[in-house]
Amino acid sequence: MTAGVSYTRCRLCARRCGVDRTRGQTGFCGTGSRLRIAWAGIHRGEEPLICGRGGSGTIFLSGCTLRCFFCQNYQLSHGNLGRDTDVSEFADICLMLERKGAENINIVTGTHFLPSLAEGIRESRERGLTKPVVWNSSGYESSEYLPLLNDFVDIYLPDLKTLDSSLSASMFGVSDYPDAAARAIKEMAASRPLLRRGSFLVSGLIVRHLVLPGLLENTRAVLAWFAENVADRALLSLMFQYTPPAGPVPQGELQGGQGERGEWKRRVSAEEYGRTLAMLDEFGIEEGFVQEPSEDAPPCLPDFSLPDAFPGGLAYPLWFYGKNQAEGAREICSQEICQQETCCQKIDHYQTRHRQARHRRTGHREIYDQADGM
């Protein structure tokens, strides 16, 4: 285990639960001390600089330190769907993703497994991994362990969900998310300069913000903070993919400091989309990405109970928690997933098709011109 960092008296995220996960205790994240993974594969729905030409080698972990009620990965963040693995199998997955052409290793929601992931990336590097590592997180990081992230992370991809402490307390059960996330993002910006190689990012920070229906003042505050604090060192990714959850939603108690109330049973409207784009001009934000929303498009939610978890060919599975349990990180057979298509044929097919479809539905539109050296 990484020196000085462990699962005993766990303080890995900003909740600092203090439980001993090595003895079967679980904190808010709901996980023990064994690395738990649900799905890994080539994902083509991330920002263009993350996907590049080959797609992002995405690894979805189980559990979460926030558990947003509207999480698109609800089965993982709330249900802990997945399988316990070890550091060597994680390294096997990373190397498999690189062999299949992934532009990077994209670790999704890994804060509560930081010691294992640091060790796993170290082993992967020793065994020949060359691709950059993406840290795809909620932003709710412990400042105590950010230096350890800098030892193995090349690209930071955090959320900045809100800067409103009352809204944070209502949504996540903690009022300190705004302070913790803002502090972490500033440190990420300082440690990773933007650097592009060809069509993808090899170093830097992209800050994501999900626009929520009825809470545009929340978005305004986030964009103002971004413009003032990190716009000269980071890119913005403005997301409109909020989908009303299938289960119960809060009834009125989630109110922001500006008196706004989230309208959780609908998507972001075209009028809200237009007002949000006007904020980009208002704050002079010219570099980043914007998703193209659609109020009428069918839900694009993953189903992690299936190997082919993502609808519309958004991603191609290479490892699945329900497969190969006795054999470790052997690639899922293409005949099981692709029927009559080979692995590479399926990847190429969706690469072309999604570049055409993403602009209309849920993809990212670049809002800036990239210089060769960023």
Per-residue pLDDT of 291-306, as tens digits, reads 987 666 666 789 999 9
Residue 83, pLDDT above cutoff 60:
yes
Residue from 103, 95, 111, 171 nearest 146 by CA? 111
Name the domain count of the chain: 1
- Among the residue ranges 18-27, 263-272, 355-364, the one predicted with the least confidence is 355-364
The Cα 334–Cα 200 span in angstroms is: 27
The predicted pLDDT at position 312 comes to 80
The Cα 129–Cα 104 span in angstroms is: 10
CATH code, domain with 95: 3.20.20.70
Residue 364, pLDDT above cutoff 80:
no
Residue 256 lies in a domain: yes
Residue 280 lies in a domain: yes
- Structure pTM? 0.87
Domain that holds residue 350: 32-366
Burial group, residue 107, by CB count within 10 angstroms (0-12, 13-18, 19+): buried
Residue 6 lies in a domain: no
The predicted pLDDT at position 30 comes to 93
Residue 275 lies in a domain: yes
Taking a C-beta distance cutoff of 8 angstroms, is the pair 103, 50 a contact?
yes
Residue 16 lies in a domain: no
More confident residue, 260 or 237: 237
* Interval 260-287: pLDDT, tens: 677 888 899 999 999 999 999 999 999 9
Give 335-373 as a DSSP string: HHHHTTS-HHHHHHHHHHHHHHHTTTTT-EEE-SPPPTT
- Among the residue ranges 230-239, 299-308, 333-342, the one predicted with the least confidence is 333-342
Category of 74 on φ-ψ map: left (φ > 0), alpha (ψ -120 to 50) or beta = alpha
Residue 135 lies in a domain: yes
* Interval 29-73: pLDDT, tens: 999 999 999 999 999 999 999 999 999 999 999 999 999 989 999
Please name the amino acid found at residue 246: A
Residue 3 lies in a domain: no
Residue 4 lies in a domain: no
